[in-house]
Amino acid sequence: MLNKININNPALYPILLLSFIFFTFSITDILKGNGYLAVYIAGILVGNSKITHRKNIYTVMDGLAWLCQIVMFLCLGLLVNPHEMLEVAAVALLIGIFMILIGRPLSVFLCLLPFKKINMKSRVFISWIGLRGAVPIIFATYPVVAEVEGSNVIFNIVFFITILSLIIQGTTVSTAARLLRLSTPLVKTGNEFGVELPEEIDTKELLDMTVTEAMLEQADTLKDMELPQGTLVMIVKRGNEFLIPNGTLLLHAGDQLLLISEKDQEKAKIPD
């Protein structure tokens, strides 16, 4: 529907998508389903599809997500009393340790049984990651709102366990990945110019390159520089100045070049 509805103002597309979110949650709730799960699955489907004005929608939704997180944690902070945490610390600690060492690993291994291609190291890593977000705390507020007897104790226990998981598992994710040899080098994405191609152009990519003294010894103009076939220099940034590239432009050390190339080009051929 996002791709078929023609709206003259691109700023209205994020609002349209937001209305679909409320619609998905409401209709699922009316049908006695899980509205949160429905929105989550819908988000996965939309996020992996080609939609019009994708970058504008992503920017707005990212801002809304951060705003919701700020409001959510502010509200959760108002519900928590530190002295009540101490009262349930012993029980919550035992439950938390059980969840971290037995409960979650067991559930993860059982759920991943059909996926034969996932190796043992990956299964162990997934088991260790744990749930460190505010979602379990949000769900723990439901019995509090419904005024269920003992709901405050449940809320405090869930809050304590989440904080425990955050401290123990959340701070050791990178370490666990390194120990299991699952960490990969950080891959740079995007470019320093802040320029992006439209979503429809999926066969091209933008890269940036900084001119070095070693490169200038081999070629000091664009026409003499050996770039991969199908790669063009779009603009040259020299300090705070932007220059229109041409073959005779004399390059300086430190110049930044914005390149456009085919995605299947071998990046190794681009000078470092």
Q: What is the pLDDT of residues 135-170, one digit of tens each?
A: 788 888 889 888 899 888 988 998 898 888 888 988
Residue 115 lies in a domain: yes
- Provide the token pair at 106: 């067991």
Quote the domain boundaries for residue 230: 204-269
Residues 68 and 76: their CA atoms lie apart, in Å, by: 12
Predicted pLDDT at 268: 42
Is residue 13 domain-shared with residue 73, that is, in the same domain? yes
Of 32, 153, 147, the closest CA to residue 84 belongs to: 153
Is residue 170 domain-shared with residue 100, that is, in the same domain? yes
Quick check: 188 pLDDT over 50?
Answer: yes
Quick check: 190 pLDDT over 70?
Answer: no
Is residue 151 domain-shared with residue 215, that is, in the same domain? no
Cα-based distances in Å from 100 to 88, 94, 136: 18, 10, 15
Cα 191 → chain centroid: 18
Residue 6 lies in a domain: yes
Residues 59 and 195: their CA atoms lie apart, in Å, by: 14
Is residue 25 domain-shared with residue 56, that is, in the same domain? yes
Sign of CA dihedral 137, 140, 145, 150: negative
> Are the CB atoms for 182 and 241 separated by under 8 Å?
no
Is residue 180 domain-shared with residue 99, that is, in the same domain? yes
Residue 194 lies in a domain: no
Is residue 223 domain-shared with residue 263, that is, in the same domain? yes
Residue 196 lies in a domain: no
Query: What does the pLDDT look like over 79-127, one tens digit per residue?
Result: 888 888 888 999 999 999 999 999 999 999 999 999 999 999 999 999 9
Is residue 55 domain-shared with residue 10, that is, in the same domain? yes
Residue 199 lies in a domain: no
Residues 60 and 179: their CA atoms lie apart, in Å, by: 38
Is residue 132 domain-shared with residue 216, that is, in the same domain? no
Residue 73 lies in a domain: yes
Quick check: 272 pLDDT over 70?
Answer: no
Predicted pLDDT at 239: 86
Of 130, 128, 133, the closest CA to residue 182 belongs to: 128
Is residue 160 domain-shared with residue 213, that is, in the same domain? no
Is residue 52 domain-shared with residue 120, that is, in the same domain? no
Quick check: 187 pLDDT over 80?
Answer: no
Residue 190 lies in a domain: no
As for how many domains the chain has, the answer is: 3
> Are the CB atoms for 140 and 95 separated by under 8 Å?
no
Quick check: 134 pLDDT over 80?
Answer: no
Domain end residue (candidates: 55, 79, 103):
79
Q: Is 160 exposed, middle or buried (0-12, 13-18, 19+ CB in 10 A)?
A: buried
Is residue 112 domain-shared with residue 48, that is, in the same domain? no
Domain end residue (candidates: 79, 107, 126):
79
DSSP for residue 268: G
Which range, of 64-73, 169-178, 191-200, averages the lowest pLDDT? 191-200
The model's pTM is 0.61
Domain with residue 254: its CATH number is 3.30.70.1450
Domain end residue (candidates: 149, 184, 219):
184
Task: Report the pLDDT averaged over residues 240-258.
Answer: 86
Is residue 173 domain-shared with residue 224, that is, in the same domain? no
Residue 24 lies in a domain: yes
Query: What does the pLDDT look like over 10-65, one tens digit per residue?
Result: 889 999 999 999 999 999 999 999 998 999 999 999 988 888 888 888 889 999 98
